[in-house]
Amino acid sequence: MNPRVDRILFLGLDGGTQTVLQPMFDRGVMPNLRGLWERSSHGSLVSTLPMVTPVAWTSFLTGCEPGLHGIHEFFHLDSERRCFQANTAKNIRVDTLWNILGAHGRSVVSINLPMTYPAPAVDGLIISGNDAPGHRAAISSCLSFAAKLAAAEPGFTTRNLWKTRPATPEELDTTCRKTEAQFKSLARAAIMADSEVNWTALMVQFQNLDGLLHRAWPELNVDGGPAPSPAGTRSVERTLRTLDEACARLIDLADQRGAAIVALSDHGFGPCKSVINVNGLLQAGGYQRRLSYGTRFRYRFHRLSDRWRRYQLGRQGTENPPVSRTIAGEVGCDWKRTVAFAPFGQLSACVYLNQDQVHTTARADSLRAEIAEYLQGARHPETGERLFVEAFDMAQKYGCNPAEQGNPDILAGSVDGIQAQAKWDPRSSALSGVDRSLPGTHYRQGIIAIQAPGMTSGPVLTGRLADVAPTALTFLGIDVPGFMQGRPLRPGPAGEGMNTAAFSPTRPKSLRFDPFPGEPPTPIFSRPELRERWVAVPKDPGTSS
Ligand SMILES: [Zn+2]
């Protein structure tokens, strides 16, 4: 393979979508990224199932779909200890792009990318993403650089700044300013790293763009929704302008070093029309029983003792608590009458069988098939929309034993605009609702722009996240490892935005953009009495994303 470039700059625009970029280009808010887009091969990048940060960025890093890389959600289950824990880089089952470059004697700078804790042992500098258990953990592989960075950038943080939706325009403005400071310091950190490392790949991931899109979607004023406050729109536009300026500094750096540029997002974004109660769905299907009065005490006890334990660990400064959350403290159901439960999951139904109540392999097999079919057919009672893009038995689809890795037995990915989630107010039996703190959510179509020799400019790319690593390796003249499922992206005919080379034969059908064209809406439940359980708005869905 002929190397076309010696270096690649990756700009991680978390949650970046053309729905936001195009209006911002048109309004003159993001002139530098607009320029990059105009010079580049650009188009859409399809996310993973489920389309959440750790799953998607791991597909970027490995060139594989989740069935192979093994990350299916933020967490995995430890069924022996009846608890679940965060997935980290240790749970990725294949080599990552950074490891592969390291094995070829190349150096890597990676700043704030999820699923890079613990940091891969490669030459260069890795500041892990905010999924690392604390700031000290995130910088643990580059302490001397981190000390210099702290001196130059005292406020440097990779913290999630958008935990809830700001209540007032003033509060929104404050969070926007913190985000701007973070975007600037991320770019400065990369420029400092450049003076120390002769890098082959340099990546800066702007994670808090995702938070802004989740919490301040209406203020972006991009989808013809209800009129937002003009002050709020000014704040978010200023933050996007700052992001554009931070990217401009990095684009300049790439130009000075003769590097190719790959700007991408891990998923798209759009308005969140509805949230869905996954455990409620399982209850409505008869797979889970709600708690009767007496057993609620036990559930509350587990919840409180979980909280107390986390508080104690925090006080001791334990950065990586061995037990994150117990199942009993997250799912309040009657375990003796429950065969399926979802302990965690955002934008998906991550369903586990309750092994204590499923006694035979045959029963487990039939339950997995039945629940997958049930979720596949589930529809929203008000709109008739399907809730899940695809629901499947993990063992069957991926030919693996999900229990070995603590992964769910059944997985179903949300359709665009409808966020299924395990977390729900235990007092509420509503199956759907609107989360006022979450006006925006992930959509399947992300973005990509590539500026590199041989890549013609225009809207000519269509690919999936797993295609990016093989594309990068091809640019660098490094053989693409056989395990990678993605294919190098090549520009398709201008205007058509189609790159057939990017589609591997195993590409799941579910990744089509419009998965259910022309299908008439049907009610979610065949039994009308179950529909009565639907309540439009629960008091407090208690979501976070
Ligand atoms: Zn993300």
Summarize pLDDT for 485-529 with one digit per residue, the tens: 999 998 765 433 333 333 332 322 222 222 233 333 333 333 333
Q: From the CA of 109, how far away is ligand 1's center (Å)?
A: 20
Q: What pLDDT score was predicted for residue 227? A: 65
Give me the DSSP letters along 226-261. S---HHHHHHHHHHHHHHHHHHHHHHHHHHHHT-EE
Rg (CA), the chain: 23
What would the pLDDT profile of 393-433 be if each residue is shown by its tens digit? 999 998 888 888 899 999 999 999 999 999 988 777 788 88
CA of 298 to the centre of ligand 1 (A): 35
Ligand 1 centroid distance, CA of 240 (Å): 17
CA 450 to ligand 1 centroid distance, Å: 20
Yes or no: say if 73 and 63 are a contact pair by the CB < 8 Å rule: no
Please tell me the distance from the alpha carbon of residue 53 to that of residue 48, in angstroms, as a whole number. Answer: 9
- With CA atoms as reference, report the closest residue to 264 among 39, 30, 42, 499: 42
Highest mean predicted confidence (pLDDT) among 73-77, 243-247, 290-294 = 243-247
208 CA → ligand 1 middle, Å: 9
| CA–CA distances in Å: residue 431 to residues 52, 89, 131, 387, 537 | 22, 34, 29, 12, 9
Ligand 1 mean position to 58 CA, how many Å? 11
- Report pLDDT for 314: 66
Ligand 1 geometric centre to CA of 14 (Å): 5
Average pLDDT, the chain: 85
Asked whether residue 173 carries a pLDDT value surpassing 90, the answer given is yes
Q: How far is the CA of 211 from the centre of ligand 1 (A)?
A: 9
Model pTM? Answer: 0.87
Q: Return d(Cα 330, Cα 74) in angstroms, integer.
A: 15
What is the rounded average pLDDT of the residues 252-259? Answer: 97
Instruction: State in Å: Cα 13 to ligand 1 middle.
Output: 9
- Cα(462) to centroid of ligand 1, in Å? 19
- Ligand 1: distance of its center to the CA of 514 in Å? 21
Best CA proximity match to 72, nearest among 49, 106, 39, 97? 49
Residue 405 amino acid letter: Q
Instruction: Give the CATH architecture of domain 8-272+440-502.
Output: 3-Layer(aba) Sandwich (3.40)
Residue with tokens 């130009």: 255
Strand partners, 414: 388
Please give the single-letter amino acid code of residue 253: L
**pLDDT tens, position by position, 113-137:** 999 999 999 999 999 998 898 888 9
CB 158 within 8 A of CB 135: yes
How many Å lie between the centroid of ligand 1 and the Cα of residue 531? 33
Per DSSP, the three-state class of 70 is coil
State in Å: Cα 113 to ligand 1 middle. Answer: 10
CA nearest 331: which of 377, 371, 376, 282? 282
Q: Would you place residue 326 in the very low, low, confident or very high pLDDT band (cuts 50, 70, 90)?
A: confident
Extract the runs of DSSP E, i.e. beta strands, from 380-472. Answer: 388-393, 410-414, 418-421, 432-433, 440-443, 445-451, 458-464
Q: Which two tokens stand for residue 532?
A: 């009565």
Q: Which has the closest alpha carbon to 69: 98, 46, 90, 99?
A: 90
Residues 495, 513: Cα–Cα separation, whole Å: 17
Q: How far is the CA of 523 from the centre of ligand 1 (A)?
A: 32
User: What residue ranges in 373-517 does DSSP mark as E strands?
Assistant: 388-393, 410-414, 418-421, 432-433, 440-443, 445-451, 458-464
Distance of CA 128 to the CA centre of its chain: 16
